[in-house]
């Protein structure tokens, strides 16, 4: 039998009831670092003492930011670390390569904060969605006046997107826009292990010429010395906690996954508007790749907004099968697991 209503029960939001629409103006206005990285800086980045590449990456980005500063002095700002690294030259941008959880997004957002505007920050998916909303020439016009374009989670999973982004970035570079990007793969390796990778290898190689690769080694900071995924709750406990939590969303995992098929990934952020914590019943392993990739995007948007997740069913470190974790999208799935587990831990602290 269902649990009795909590005396302080509130009406939880059902994400499956939402079908948001996002105007193009909002897409442009929201091209800023997500809330989790709204106040970060090079000084707040905590490098792993055993990983010199993390110190060196900060140096490279500090000097890159100084080169974009309009004060005309040409002198770099004070460095947070004593190590020195050569200032970037030649390519129009910086490419941060490293595993998930080494702080690439933190550093990319720090660069954005340290650079004079106008400037834009978005994920690769958000950039392609912007082009879809504004059309290609509209996107070129909207971004050409910018000092810097930061692209987080640079992915080339689709040949069409590869050509689109390659052409867009080439046009922006011609118009004087500097670029910075993060990914788990070096530019010349993008698409490796993916379906139809050979079909767009030429475009990938052309894209890589725009960036100076900067490697960041290290282990996932979210799991440094921390426990594994917390044990899941019961369905009844999830329902009760959601009823007692203002700003909670409450959905069955199956229903939410089905609903995501009918919501464009560019709207997943809007899907979470007003939500302060997420409650899910019946989390299970996701065997369909298209569904799994949609879940990855939703996990990214929940992580950006620092939404704790309370869930029943399987722990999040078991949500993707081993076959997927060995496939071409392995790094995407590992990043999603890392973020979902972190959000589940946040909920367990409450």
pLDDT tens digit at each of 350 positions of the chain: 444 544 555 678 999 999 888 777 777 788 999 888 989 999 998 887 788 888 999 999 999 999 998 544 444 444 444 444 444 445 688 988 877 668 888 999 999 999 998 999 998 878 888 888 889 999 999 999 899 999 988 876 666 777 888 889 999 999 999 999 887 666 666 666 554 455 545 666 777 778 888 888 776 555 544 457 788 999 999 999 999 999 999 999 999 999 999 998 878 888 999 999 999 999 999 999 999 999 998 998 999 889 999 999 999 999 999 999 888 788 788 889 988 999 999 887 76
Distance, in Å, from the CA atom of 83 to the CA atom of 215, rounded to the nearest integer, reads 16
Distance, in Å, from the CA atom of 124 to the CA atom of 137, rounded to the nearest integer, reads 18
Residue identified by tokens 């959905």 is 251
Structure tokens at 141: 């016009």
Q: Where in the chain is the domain with CATH 3.40.50.300?
A: 49-218
Q: What's the CATH class of domain 15-21+222-349?
A: alpha beta
Distances (CA, A) of 160 to 112, 165, 167, 203: 28, 9, 11, 10
Cβ–Cβ under 8 Å, residues 316 and 286: no
Question: Model-level pTM?
Answer: 0.71
Distance, in Å, from the CA atom of 173 to the CA atom of 167, rounded to the nearest integer, reads 10
The CATH architecture one would assign to domain 49-218 is 3-Layer(aba) Sandwich (3.40)
Q: Where are the beta strands (DSSP E) in the chain?
A: 93-98, 119-123, 148-152, 178-183, 211-216, 248-252, 277-283, 309-313
| Closest listed residue to residue 117, CA positions, set 177, 195, 168, 189 | 177
Distance, in Å, from the CA atom of 226 to the CA atom of 241, rounded to the nearest integer, reads 25
Distance, in Å, from the CA atom of 342 to the CA atom of 59, rounded to the nearest integer, reads 28
């Amino acid at each position: 039998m269902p649990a009795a209503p909590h005396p302080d029960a509130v009406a939880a939001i059902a994400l499956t009831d939402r079908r948001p629409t996002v105007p193009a103006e909002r897409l442009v206005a929201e091209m800023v670092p997500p809330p989790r990285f709204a106040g970060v800086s090079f000084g707040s980045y905590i490098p792993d003492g055993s990983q010199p590449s993390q110190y060196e990456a900060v140096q490279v980005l500090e000097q890159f930011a100084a080169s974009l500063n309009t004060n005309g002095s040409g002198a770099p700002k004070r460095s947070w670390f004593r190590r020195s690294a050569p200032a970037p030259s030649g390519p129009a941008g910086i490419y941060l390569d490293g595993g998930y959880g080494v702080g690439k997004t933190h550093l990319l957002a720090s660069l954005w904060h340290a650079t004079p505007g106008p400037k834009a920050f978005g994920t690769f998916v958000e950039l392609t969605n912007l082009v879809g909303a504004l059309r290609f020439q509209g996107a070129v016009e909207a971004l050409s006046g910018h000092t810097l374009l930061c692209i987080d989670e640079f992915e080339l999973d689709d040949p069409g997107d590869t050509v689109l982004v390659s052409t867009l970035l080439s046009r922006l570079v011609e118009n004087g826009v500097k670029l910075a990007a993060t990914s788990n793969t070096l530019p010349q390796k993008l698409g490796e292990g993916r379906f139809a990778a050979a079909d767009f290898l030429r475009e990938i190689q052309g894209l890589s010429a725009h960036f100076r690769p900067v490697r960041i080694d290290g282990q996932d900071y979210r799991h440094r010395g921390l426990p594994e995924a917390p044990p899941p709750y019961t369905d009844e406990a999830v329902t009760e906690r959601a009823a007692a939590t203002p700003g909670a969303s409450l959905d069955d995992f199956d229903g939410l996954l089905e609903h995501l098929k009918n919501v464009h990934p560019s709207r997943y952020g809007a899907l979470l508007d007003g939500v302060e914590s997420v409650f899910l019943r019946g989390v299970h392993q996701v065997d369909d790749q298209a569904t799994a990739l949609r879940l990855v995007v939703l996990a990214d948007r929940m992580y950006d907004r620092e939404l704790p997740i309370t869930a029943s069913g399987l722990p999040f470190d078991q949500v993707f099968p081993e076959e997927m974790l060995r496939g071409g999208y392995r790094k995407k799935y590992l990043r999603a697991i890392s973020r979902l587990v972190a959000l589940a831990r946040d909920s367990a602290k409450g």
